[in-house]
Chains A and B, each alone.
Chain A
Amino acid sequence: MTELHHLSLAELGRGLAERRFSSVELTRHFLERIERLDPRLNAFITVTADQALAAAQAADRALAEGSAGPLTGLPLVHKDIFCTDGVLTTCASRMLSNFVSPYDATVVARLAAAGMVMLGKTNMDEFAMGSSNETSWYGPVRNPWDLGKVPGGSSGGSAAAVAARLAPAATGTDTGGSIRQPAALTALTGLKPTYGRVSRYGLIAFASSLDQAGPLTRSAYDAALLLGAMAGFDPRDSTSVDAPVPDYLATLEAPLAGLKIGLPKELFEDLEEANARLVRDALGVYEKLGAQLIEVSLPHLPLSVPTYYVVAPAECSSNLSRFDGVRFGYRCEDPVDLLDLYERSRGEGFGAEVKRRIMTGTYVLSAGYYDAYYLKAQRVRRLIANDFAQAFTQVDVLMGPTVPGPAFELGAKLDDPVTMYLSDIYTIGVNLAGLPAISIPCGFLDGLPIGLQIIGPHFAEERLLNVAHGYQRETDWHTRTPPEFA
């Protein structure tokens, strides 16, 4: 029998249904790998072994009784931004390093109700602010493809765990690329759904007009399987959209002949030749499947990074004002008065990047600067969104690179915040426009993976998964395993 960690989520589901192995065996297998291999990666903040085994036993009973669903007994890991009842939920911050959540996020509750087994909570950039997983209070995560390189961020622990086969799937969140960029840098499939598609109840807020949760998996098929259980209306999230959830698996195999693929020229203008060649090879696969390539333009897209670095910090400065050292979270020692309690609890509880973003946000929202920065950015945001809407009148999906280059060295971009911010140049526009997008592996540069990004109109997840799956039927990039973790 192939070792269990080499099987996809879908294959593991078949194995459980056919009783070739039990959920307890599966869970033990992954827990053993985490214990043995995670010290090289630092992908986990918390491993929930006892809870996982109890959940696996319950899953095995459901499988024996015939009451199991398609996800029953399958293990997964959650980014440590999702609240988990009775389990440490840190957001990779000292501020929440003592926070045991009193409730489950809706995503966590839904996947548990579907019978999935949580193995643990994964490392991330502090409060999801970062593109390299180096801002974590719990230390950086390493890329399974090269331990000297970053895994991307902010969902870097989720990406590293799945890429190293320490878990078959993970949840992540994406505010400016935090699912797609780490997926690209670790050879995974990462889907950022439409704004409002997946509930954010119990997801610790970063930038509320941008945040969205989604799956990190080894294939588009697995992403379809997981998204079906994650998505859907939730009255507890005021931004949740009340629209039916389609059967994402039903349309996966639809033929791609006649598909109109838009290639935004702004996504290719500054792209390095080796990276561009891999993206063009992927486009060639689509042409063979009968798709049509059409050049389009998103003229305001080059302004997406500066727009984001006004809007996201503004929202974060407001959201993170709740951390005051009074009701939960870190409190400084011996505060002399209330102001001292606030200032030192926040000064000591937050890391440098989080403080920079809170301060940037405070500045752009402050009297005298609000119109010049914040309203200005919101206006440019509309121009960017309009560009996408215009493009989708001509084409079904847009394609381009996910990342400007493969994973970089740990520490390489820490000295200049703007250089780090620009590593999300291809992903941020999608969040500003609230669109769904998926990154799939499309090749390797010097042994390191990069991704193809496929962007769709609002609520086109079905189409994105279908288009991604069509490529993965023709290619095997998504099946590659980092040699050290085979």
Chain B
Amino acid sequence: MNLIRRDVENIAHLARLRITEAELPDYVDRLSKIVTFVEQLNTVDTADVEPMAHPLADQVQRMRPDEPVEMDDREKYQRNAPKVEAGLYLVPKVIE
């Protein structure tokens, strides 16, 4: 299936990605190629097949006792933050 410009703009918005005007035609072209390529999956009948989400059968999510195991290391983690103040992450104002 060929995607059109509006499809790609919509996908980019959903993915929170800014795509420039100049880049857009290339994304339309290449994403169309990828979508067309994966459409060959429709050549096989999968009506009675259970979707496979995990490559190993019989795996279960483990439980553990509800006890603290990680130390609070906020200062160390915030060293990687673009902007912090008083232990808080700063972003542009969201409420006027």
Q: Which residues of A contact B (CB under 8 A)?
A: 98-100, 102, 194-196, 209-210, 235, 238-239, 241, 300, 303, 305-307, 309-310, 317, 321, 324-331, 335-344, 346-348, 350, 352, 355-356, 358-360, 362-364, 366, 373, 375-383, 385, 416-418, 421, 431-434, 458
Q: A195 is contacted by which of B44, B55, B73, B89 (Cβ under 8 Å)? A: B55
B46, A360: Cβ atoms closer than 8 Å: no
Residues A340 and B52 in contact, CB atoms below 8 Å apart: no
Residue from B17, B31, B51 within 8 A of A350 (CB atoms): B17
Given the complex, which residues of A lie within 8 Å of B7, measured CB to CB?
363
Known A-B contacts A102-B76, A209-B54, A434-B56; the reply to A303 vs B41 at CB < 8 A is yes
Restricting to B29-85, which residues have a CB under 8 Å from any CB of A?
A: 30-31, 33-35, 37-44, 46, 49-56, 59, 61-62, 64, 73, 76-77, 79-83
Q: Are B83 and A331 in contact (CB under 8 A)?
A: yes
- CA separation between A418 and B30, bound complex, in Å? 9
Tell me how far the C-beta of A373 lies from the nearest C-beta in chain B, rounded to whole angstroms: 7
**What's the count of A-B pairs with C-beta under 8 Å?**
170
Can you spell out 16 A-B residue pairs with CB atoms less than 8 angstroms apart?
A: A102-B76, A194-B56, A195-B56, A209-B53, A209-B54, A238-B62, A307-B41, A317-B15, A327-B81, A338-B91, A347-B19, A359-B15, A373-B38, A376-B42, A385-B52, A458-B56
Question: Nearest A residue to B47 by beta-carbon distance?
Answer: A379
Indicate if the CB atoms of A102 and B37 lie closer than 8 Å.
Answer: no
Choice from B33, B41, B80, B91 contacting A377 with Cβ under 8 Å: B41
B92 within 8 A of A: yes
Q: Judge whether A417 and B79 touch: CB under 8 Å.
A: no
Nearest 4 pairs of A and B residues by beta carbon: A434-B55, A347-B18, A378-B51, A379-B46
CA distance A215 to B15 in the complex (A): 34
CA gap between A389 and B6 in the complex, in Å: 43
The verdict on A306 contacting B37 (CB below 8 Å), with A102-B76, A382-B49 known, is yes
B→A interface (CB under 8 Å): 3, 7-8, 11-12, 14-20, 23, 26-27, 30-31, 33-35, 37-44, 46, 49-56, 59, 61-62, 64, 73, 76-77, 79-83, 89, 91-94
- Contact between B52 and A327, CB atoms less than 8 A apart: no
B31 contacts A306, C-beta separation under 8 Å: no
Q: A327-B81, A362-B11 are in contact. Are A432 and B44 (CB under 8 A)?
A: no
Secondary structure dominating the interface of B:
loop
Task: Compute how far the CA of A336 lies from the CA of B93 in the bound complex, rounded to whole angstroms.
Answer: 9
Give the complex CA separation of A378 and B35 in angstroms: 16
Nearest-neighbor residue (CB-CB) of B93 within chain A: A337
The interface centre, meaning the residue of B41, B50, B54 with most chain A CB atoms within 10 A of its CB, is B41
The reply to whether A338 and B81 form a contact with Cβ atoms under 8 Å apart is: no
B16: A residues at CB distance < 8 A: 321, 324, 339, 342-343, 346
Contacts of B76 in A (CB 8 A): 102
Q: Are B52 and A381 in contact (CB under 8 A)?
A: yes
User: In the complex the two chains form, is B89's CB within 8 Å of A327's CB?
Assistant: yes
Q: How distant is B53 from chain A, measured CB to nearest CB, in Å?
A: 6
Question: Which residues from A are CB-within-8-Å of B92?
Answer: 335-338, 340-341
B64 near A235 (CB under 8 angstroms)?
A: yes
Q: A307-B38, A382-B51 are in contact. List 8 more A-B contacts (CB 8 A).
A: A239-B59, A306-B40, A337-B92, A346-B17, A363-B35, A385-B55, A416-B30, A431-B55
- Bound together, the chains give a CA A479 to CA B56 distance in angstroms of 35
Q: Which residue of B3, B11, B17, B50 contacts A379 across the interface (Cβ within 8 Å)?
A: B50
Nearest B residue (CB) for A374: B51
Do residues B80 and A380 form an inter-chain contact, with CB atoms below 8 A?
no
CB distance from B74 to the nearest CB of A (A): 10
Contact partners of A350 in chain B: CB under 8 A: 17
Q: How far is the CB of B65 from chain A (nearest CB, A)?
A: 11
